[in-house]
Amino acid sequence: ARKLFEQAIAIDPEYALAYVGLADAVLMLSKNILRFGILEPGIASQLAEQNLAKAFVRQADIPLAYAIQGKVFELQQKPDAALAAYDKSISLNPNLAIAHMWRYLELQRQNRYPESLQALERAYQLDPVSIATMYNRAVEMTLHGQLTEAKTLFNQLIDDFPESPMGHQGIAGVEFQSGELANSLFHWKSAMDLSPQNISFQLSYYGLLLQLKITDQILPDDIMAEYKSTLLLVSEQYQALFTEMDFQ
């Protein structure tokens, strides 16, 4: 995506939306367990800011540009500036679902739960087939104990977007909360197969394997390092465990 946006700018340097898209792609490439990480966050935010500045010079009233600016402020740990940017985006286009979606996430981080839920519902009304909105709506159902409804929505996500791991990730959490660990393991494996570079999925899958005391599978080196003590514990290698704990 990043390469295609760069090609669009090369063809038409005055195309403001291409700079907006490039800023978005760069942010998604920042290092974070929930992102796809090859850029340091500081570098990603700086590159995104530079591209947004070029977009604003060419067209000052692009709602999506302000929404992405809000994500830049989040990365820079400026929550109030992030909310102001989302509000600006929504003032320019009240129907921009992703701005409401990102506003929900920021309000949630600030523990402003009633407002965050209102923003999430607005995002869902505007775009009920968005992967992010469907996923987060089902997560909220899970948090409120509506496990059957959450599972239904996660299954719909799997049916509508079979190439996305998000439905499997969601059901894995619901099944784990319900005590159905084998089903949870199946869905973590499905999510991991769809997104094999996602470290979060790997940690969840292999961590659950160890919780079930299934220790005969070969763990990747980075996962082995993360769960070394747990692996020694479940395999009853107590002396090696004590040695490792003393070393740590």
Q: Does the pLDDT of residue 157 top 70, yes or no?
A: yes
Residue 171, token pair as written in the block: 């059901």
Q: Is the dihedral of CA 154, 35, 206, 246 positive or negative?
A: negative
Mean pLDDT over the full length of the chain? 92
- pLDDT tens-digit map of 234-246: 778 899 999 989 9
Residue 14's pLDDT is: 97
Conformation bin of residue 40: beta by default, left when phi > 0, alpha when psi is -120 to 50: beta
- Mean per-residue pLDDT, 63-77: 95
pTM summary value: 0.82
Name the residue among 53, 136, 129, 60 with its Cα closest to residue 102: 136
Largest CA distance in the chain: 66
With tokens 């929930």, the residue in question is 34
How does residue 228 score in pLDDT terms, banded at 50, 70 and 90? confident
Residue 99, token pair as written in the block: 């701005």
